Amino acid sequence: MRYILKQKLLSWGDDFYIRDENGQDVYFVDGKAFTIGDQLSFQDLQGNELAFIKQKVLAWGRTYEIYRNGVIVAVVKKELFAPFHHTFYVDVPGPDDLTAVGNFFDMEYTFTRGDKVVATVSKQWLTLGDTYGVEVADGEDDILILASAVVVDMSCHGDGRRR
C-alpha cells in the first residue's frame, strides 16, 4: 500500500496527515504540545487512537515507544553513531524486528526485516512541511511502519534541524 505522510504546517504540536495513494485522508497523527519529550496520538479519521508514540526522555540516544491499547508493541531506537546515514532499530516482541537505514541526506529510508524489504520511505524535496511517500509491502503492519516513519522524521528532521 502507498501512503503520503505530510506534516501539518501550522499546529501547536507535530501533527501529520496520512493519505492513501488516491489522496484520501486515512489517518491523523496528533502531536501533543507542551509535553516533556515528544508524544503523538496516531488516530483514524473518527478520532479513535490506533497507536500512541512516546519519546523516552531519560534514554541514551533518541528512543521512542509505540503503544497499542496501553501495551508497548515496539521500541524505536536511533543508532548513536552513524556518520554517513541514520539507522533505526524497531524492536518488536518476537523475532520480527525491523531496521530502517537512511541515505546520506536522510531523504530515503528502507525498512527491512532480515534481508527482506518491507517498506520504503522517500522525503520530497522543496516542500512546505515534511512530506514523505511511504510504500508498505503487502501483509505488513501498516500502522507500525507509519508510526516508525513518524519517529524517523521526528528524530532526523524535527524542529527544522538535523539531530
- State pTM to two decimals: 0.89
pLDDT digits (tens, 9 = 90+) for 60-99: 778 999 999 999 999 999 998 777 778 999 999 988 999 9
For 101-131, give one letter per residue: b (16+ CB within 10 A) or e. Answer: ebeeebebbebebeeeebbbbebeeeeeebb
State the cell numbers at 7. 506534516
Listed by start position, the domains of the chain span 2-160
pLDDT class of 13 with cuts at 50, 70, 90: low
21, pLDDT greater than 60: yes
Interval 29-34 mean pLDDT:
83
Average pLDDT of the chain, as a whole number: 87
Q: Which amino acid appears at position 150 of this protein?
A: V
CATH 2.40.160.200 fits 2-160, yes or no: yes
pLDDT of residue 161: 39
